[in-house]
Amino acid sequence: KLCICCICLGLYNNKNRKEKRKTKMASGQQWVLVEMVQAFYEAPAYHLILEGILILWIIRLLFSKTYKLQETNKLTEKEKEELIEEWQPDPLVPLVSKDHPSLSYDIVTGPPSHKIIINGKECINFASFNFLGLLDNDRVKQKALTSLKTYGVGTCGPRGFYGTFDVHLELESRLAKFMKTEEAIIYSYGFATIASAIPAYSKRGDIVFVDEAACFSIQKGLQASRSVIKYFKHNDMEDLDRLLKEQQLEDHKNPRKAKVTRRFIVVEGLYMNTADICPLPELVKMKYKYKVRIFLEESLSFGVLGEHGRGVTEHFGVNIDDIDLISANMENAIASIGGFCCGRSFVIDHQRLSGQGYCFSASLPPMLAAAAIEALDIMEEDPDIFTVLREKCTSVYHALQGTSGLKLVGVPLSPSLHLQLERSSGSRDTDQRTLRRIVDYVSLREVALTIARYLEKEERYLPPPTIRVLVTVEQTDEEIQKAVSCIKEAALAVIS
Amino acid sequence: MTESSSNKLLNGDACQRSSKDKKSGKNGFVKNHCLFQQPQKYRRPREKNHNVVRNPSLYNKPFVESYEETPLLVAVLTYMGYGILTIFGYLRDFMRHWNIEKCSVARERDEQKDFVPLYQDFENFYTRNLYTRIRDNWNRPLCGVPGSKMDIVEQVSHDYNRTFQNTGKIMRDVINMGSYNYLGFAENVGQCADAAIQVTEKYGSGVCGTRCEMGNLDIHQEMEELVARFLGVESALTFGMGFATNSMNIPALAGKGCLILSDELNHASLVLGARLSGSTIRVFKHNNMVSLEKLLRDAIVHGQPRTHRPWKKLLIVVEGIYSMEGSIVRLPEVIALKKRYKAFLYLDEAHSIGALGPNGKGVVDYFGLDPKDVDIMMGTFTKSFGAAGGYIGGKRELIQYLRSHSHSAVYATSMPPPVAQQIITSMTTIMGEDGTSLGADRLRQLSENTTYFRRKLREMGFIIYGNDDSPVVPMMLYMPAKIGAFGREMLKRNIGTVVVGFPATPIIESRARFCVSAAHTRETLDVVRGVRGVSGPLVLRCVLGVQDLSCFKGR
């Protein structure tokens, strides 16, 4: 700082003198140079010396490194070495406790269809998402086999680079036709479908309103999108309305920003974690009121709800064009692999270049696409299958009411129900173990159930531990009765 | 051409020089704490000629990789090409706006016209005006096995590539240079297909459950044991989708307070995984060990930004073969660095597993290294094995942790049984455990084909990128107009190639990519002649242009 003061002084001094000189020789401009030289001679010696020193000082300042402070802060190579020697990383992964349930997966021998062999014991399957029983359907199998004999197994490339097969195109147009939308796009993995679709549209700065019970793949999609995320209470339209109103006020304050901020509502048709149906008609009303687009995840409801299995839009009689994007996987009702998005071409086509899971991943094996087409055929030919499923769901729902110690979560129409402890012990681990005992008890009596599994630290709103009960059309009334009585017995034995 | 030999010469030269440097270090003239420090000199940022092995002692074989710098004239012409396309794009957008040109693009519903637009206008400018013009080069539908030859459904577009209609004809026996079918296991006959058929008959095609909840079949257990044995690791875990293996497992391995060091050309799935993990990400120059080492040192010395707390872990993320460059990771150097700086190494062998190494065990096998030195061995089954899905291999604790914490193990449906069987059969074939030498033959064939094909292309004067042993062969086209022209003209000659441009590559480095397969025969590979024979005014110039310039460079 001192130095800077000196410079200022010097400069000031200089200027002053020049001005003085200027006033002196205002009369004869052409003599300026001569005058200057003269002035130079006239100036007293001490002045010249002072100026000289100042100039040297300035030159020194210019050429020396300015920030000496940091230089002294710099570490020497030796110090760096020491730091590097010293540093110890955390272990790559923490040790998993030996009794963690994931370490010993149940081993299923043979297909997980109606009858399932778990750890060597045959059970009636209440644990697979095979709602329509298409997993070991002969027609589906035959179609898959024919396709396998034509195309082989893998596709050896993403859709863009010779990974598109005619079956993919056929499946896309069939799905679009089935859902009565303009276009559909298929992904090779159910989880990646909605997780890729959301970030294709919603970018940084956009706002997404999400039901807090949304499933994990939605959460991952939201995270990848880097948008602003606002959670509303599960199925609570008032809460959503409140958030949207707040947003509207915000928008009034900053209309320029509001003009480019896209807004989305992301909901599930039938919730994976709570087995509830979303109130779609009200959501559509909100959509037009607040000009928000709706993305609907129908993994559980597709092929389940509605007269023809078209999902929650058909269930409520909502015009499917009012939903901007519907996404579902083909791993539950369709019993194949992969997922799809459908909607208007204006929306869907964008994913062909922007859906990461679509562009950068190998395409769906053709045989699985062929299996999905056949499954769609079956669903179209025989819509009664959905009525049967609905009846079974309702009967299981009613039968499981009043199980002592266990609370049934979900709606009667849902094929994926949750049994939750009526009174939690307060510790998640203990609850989980209690439920596990029920599942084990039931499996001894040849009924297969599972505990719903979550990544406890990663879930936004962790659902309480539950037993999953999955209903399929293959389960006979006797089997359902047996299962229900087993569960009730087990609950009595374990909980009391 | 003398080009390749001159490259080699240069390479040898460099090796000598670096060993001299080392000597002086021993004599005490140079005090050097870094493993791979190089003399500080100004390097032009666009220079890509880093085919200089700095530590030849770490390699057991010559490591030859070449990237010719884009010639200035070509670069200027390429930019001009984009300029012209952009000007025309604006012109056409203007005409569309005033309804002079009919706009055939799908539009928003009338009811939603007053919503905030779903896409920003400029977002789609590139798609609308550049990509759509040559869209017919991608997404060509196949109607048969993607083997060494393929059948393509012929399509035409009557609305300037917005939609395509089938003509009803099928282009038969198009030579397939586009599929990642390195070992030729994409087959509908043979032992893999037979085994897959049997399994489909038994299991059906789906699973309807996650690994944690009744989706863990006996066939999965068998497959994972085999994969672990194949890789030479303690344990392995498999997933239904290769992309998701990366994007859903990296978040389980790194988190807040961790630093991920990622190669600049890493695949989108690795980038997404790193982003989802919430860690800090720093990017080093492609395959540049000096850049990596600098980042590692800085990371440890300075710690986290602002708080200066030490990082919890450092995770280096690299790929085995980079699919757009054809380069092979400098694994021996990466491992040396990783050990020196106590970082963890995540190796994505999507393209290299099966395709590299005397035993087909990927890049680790290729360099003759110990798989235990790589902390996380990741790879996919889509390519060499002709199946689908991905795996992660490593220490038992790692896999146990992933079993309980990986997003895809807990939430995603497990792998379909026929796919699992395809993996089992192809893998046993590669390992020779089926009692035949079929696997070994394929491996040998692939490496012969690679050498042959790369040599031929070089001899003909094309600029090709990548490592001499990499079956991914990118050939430079540079100019945007050539992308479409090359793809179409090749198809006319019954050769299916992949052409790529921006944004998959840097803007001036559009290229065609050939993937060599063990299923190709010499005759098939002589498609090279086809390339040379390409006539038609535009493409002739394209090929000749490249050729001439490369000759010029070579001298």
Helix axes B537-554, B3-26, angle to 10 degrees: 40
B146 shares contact with chain A (CB less than 8 Å): yes
Q: Residue B548: which pLDDT band, with cuts at 50, 70 and 90?
A: very low
Distance set, CA A157 to CA A391, B23, B322 (Å): 43, 48, 15
Label the pairing between strands B472-478 and B510-515: antiparallel
The answer, yes or no, to whether residue B101 has pLDDT greater than 90, is no
A27 or B151: which leads in pLDDT: B151
Inspect the interface and report whether the beta carbons of A191 and B409 lie closer than 8 Å. no
On whether the CB atoms of residues A471 and A389 are closer than 8 A, the answer is yes
A-contacting residues in B 208-247 (Cβ below 8 Å): 208-218, 221, 240-244, 247
pLDDT of res. B24: 40
Residue showing tokens 């890049």: B363
- The ipTM of this complex is 0.87
What value does the mean pLDDT of chain A take? 89
Q: B241 contacts in A (CB within 8 Å)?
A: 188-189, 191-192, 357, 361-362
B10 to chain A, closest Cα gap in Å: 32
pLDDT of res. B20: 37
Confirm whether pTM is higher than 0.95: no
The answer, yes or no, to whether residue B552 has pLDDT greater than 50, is no
A205 or A6: which leads in pLDDT: A205
Taking residues A363-388, what's their average pLDDT? 95
Distance set, CA A217 to CA A192, A220, A337, A455, B215 (Å): 7, 5, 16, 12, 18
Helix axes B480-492, B72-97, angle to 10 degrees: 90
The answer, yes or no, to whether residue A361 has pLDDT greater than 70, is yes
How is residue A364 annotated by DSSP? P
Q: A162 contacts in B (CB within 8 Å)?
A: 140, 142, 146, 150, 176, 178-179, 496, 498
Q: A112 contacts in B (CB within 8 Å)?
A: 207-209, 214-215, 217
Inspect the interface and report whether the beta carbons of A106 and B216 lie closer than 8 Å. yes
Single out the residue of B289, B363, B295, B373 nearest to residue B333, CA to CA: B289
How is residue A160 annotated by DSSP? I
Q: Give CA B46 to chain center in angstroms.
A: 21
Inspect the interface and report whether the beta carbons of A141 and B144 lie closer than 8 Å. no
Inspect the interface and report whether the beta carbons of B33 and A81 lie closer than 8 Å. yes
Taking residues A259-278, what's their average pLDDT? 94
Q: What is the pLDDT of residues A60-76, one digit of tens each?
A: 888 876 655 555 567 78
Q: Which long-range contacts (CB under 8 A, 24 or more apart) does B160-166 make?
A: B160/B104, B160/B132, B160/B133, B161/B132, B161/B133, B161/B134, B161/B135, B161/B136, B162/B104, B162/B105, B162/B132, B164/B136
A&B contacts, CB < 8 Å = 367
B103 shares contact with chain A (CB less than 8 Å): no
A-contacting residues in B 404-423 (Cβ below 8 Å): 404-405, 407-413, 416-419, 422
Please report, as a single letter, which amino acid is at residue B493: R
Collapse the DSSP code of B31 into the 3-class scheme (helix H, G, I; strand E, B; otherwise coil) and give the result: coil
Taking residues B23-28, what's their average pLDDT? 39
The answer, yes or no, to whether residue B48 has pLDDT greater than 50, is no
B18 to chain A, closest Cα gap in Å: 22
- Chain B, nearest residue to A131 by Cα: B208
Q: Residue B109: which pLDDT band, with cuts at 50, 70 and 90?
A: confident
Inspect the interface and report whether the beta carbons of B146 and A163 lie closer than 8 Å. yes
Q: Which of A75, A116, A345 sits opposite B301 (nearest CB)?
A: A75
- Count Cα atoms within 13 angstroms, Cβ side, for A395: 19
What value does the mean pLDDT of chain B take? 83
Q: Which of B209, B269, B402 sits opposite A360 (nearest CB)?
A: B269
pLDDT of res. B212: 87
Q: What is the pLDDT of residues B252-305, one digit of tens each?
A: 999 999 999 999 999 999 999 999 999 999 999 999 999 999 999 999 999 998
Cβ contacts of residue A112 below 8 Å, gap of 6+? A125, A127, A128, A130, A135, B207, B208, B209, B214, B215, B217
Of B200, B205, B380, which to mutate for an interface test with A (greatest number of A Cβ within 10 Å)?
B205
Residue showing tokens 């692939």: B446
Inspect the interface and report whether the beta carbons of A111 and B407 lie closer than 8 Å. no
Q: B310 contacts in A (CB within 8 Å)?
A: 87
Q: B269 contacts in A (CB within 8 Å)?
A: 356, 360-361
Burial (CB count within 10 angstroms: exposed 0-12, middle 13-18, buried 19+), residue B466? buried
For A220, phi then psi, to 5°, come to: -70, -40
Taking residues A272-300, what's their average pLDDT? 95
- Range of weakest confidence among A135-144, B58-67, B343-352: B58-67
Q: What is the pLDDT of residues A217-267, one digit of tens each?
A: 999 999 999 999 999 999 999 999 999 999 999 999 999 999 999 999 999
Cβ contacts of residue B8 below 8 Å, gap of 6+? B62, B64
H or E stretch covering B403: helix B396-405
- Range of weakest confidence among A173-187, A405-419, B99-113, B419-433: B99-113
Inspect the interface and report whether the beta carbons of A105 and B211 lie closer than 8 Å. yes
Single out the residue of A299, A304, A263, A267 nearest to residue A283, CA to CA: A267
pLDDT of res. A146: 95
Of B208, B296, B413, B494, which to mutate for an interface test with A (greatest number of A Cβ within 10 Å)?
B208
Inspect the interface and report whether the beta carbons of B248 and A450 lie closer than 8 Å. no
Q: Residue A5: which pLDDT band, with cuts at 50, 70 and 90?
A: very low
Query: Before B503, cis peptide (omega within 30)?
Result: yes
B-contacting residues in A 15-74 (Cβ below 8 Å): none
The alpha-carbon radius of gyration of chain A (Å, integer) is 36
Cβ contacts of residue A73 below 8 Å, gap of 6+? none
Inspect the interface and report whether the beta carbons of B141 and A169 lie closer than 8 Å. yes
Distance set, CA A175 to CA A167, A269, A335 (Å): 12, 18, 15
Q: Residue B530: which pLDDT band, with cuts at 50, 70 and 90?
A: low
Inspect the interface and report whether the beta carbons of A165 and B397 lie closer than 8 Å. no
Taking residues B496-525, what's their average pLDDT? 86
Inspect the interface and report whether the beta carbons of B201 and A145 lie closer than 8 Å. yes
Q: Which of B209, B275, B412 sits opposite A191 (nearest CB)?
A: B412
H or E stretch covering B393: strand B390-394
- Range of weakest confidence among A13-27, A320-334, A367-381, B251-265: A13-27
Single out the residue of A379, A322, A33, A348 nearest to residue A196, CA to CA: A348
Q: Which of B146, B196, B375 sits opposite A157 (nearest CB)?
A: B146
B122 or A458: which leads in pLDDT: A458
For B504, phi then psi, to 5°, come to: -75, -25
A347 shares contact with chain B (CB less than 8 Å): yes
A125 shares contact with chain B (CB less than 8 Å): yes
A217 shares contact with chain B (CB less than 8 Å): yes
Q: How far apart are CA B234 and CA B370, in angstroms?
A: 13
Q: What is the pLDDT of residues B300-333, one digit of tens each?
A: 999 998 888 999 999 999 999 998 889 999 999 9
Q: Residue B366: which pLDDT band, with cuts at 50, 70 and 90?
A: very high
Residue showing tokens 């879930």: A459
Query: In chain A, what's the furthest Cα-to-Cα distance?
Result: 122
Q: How far apart are CA B12 and CA B64, in angstroms?
A: 10
Inspect the interface and report whether the beta carbons of B208 and A129 lie closer than 8 Å. yes
B-contacting residues in A 404-463 (Cβ below 8 Å): 448, 450-455, 458
pLDDT of res. B390: 95
Inspect the interface and report whether the beta carbons of A153 and B386 lie closer than 8 Å. yes
Taking residues A298-305, what's their average pLDDT? 94
B119 shares contact with chain A (CB less than 8 Å): yes
Inspect the interface and report whether the beta carbons of A220 and B139 lie closer than 8 Å. no
Q: How far apart are CA B430 and CA B360, in angstroms?
A: 7
Inspect the interface and report whether the beta carbons of B208 and A332 lie closer than 8 Å. yes
The answer, yes or no, to whether residue B33 has pLDDT greater than 80, is no
Q: Which long-range contacts (CB under 8 A, 24 or more apart) does B114-120 make?
A: B114/A291, B115/A291, B115/A292, B115/A293, B116/A258, B116/A259, B116/A260, B116/A261, B116/A262, B116/A263, B116/A291, B117/A262, B118/A201, B118/A262, B118/A293, B118/A324, B118/A346, B118/A347, B118/A350, B119/A350, B120/A260
Q: What is the pLDDT of residues B199-226, one digit of tens each?
A: 999 999 899 999 888 889 999 999 999 9
On whether the CB atoms of residues A314 and A306 are closer than 8 A, the answer is yes
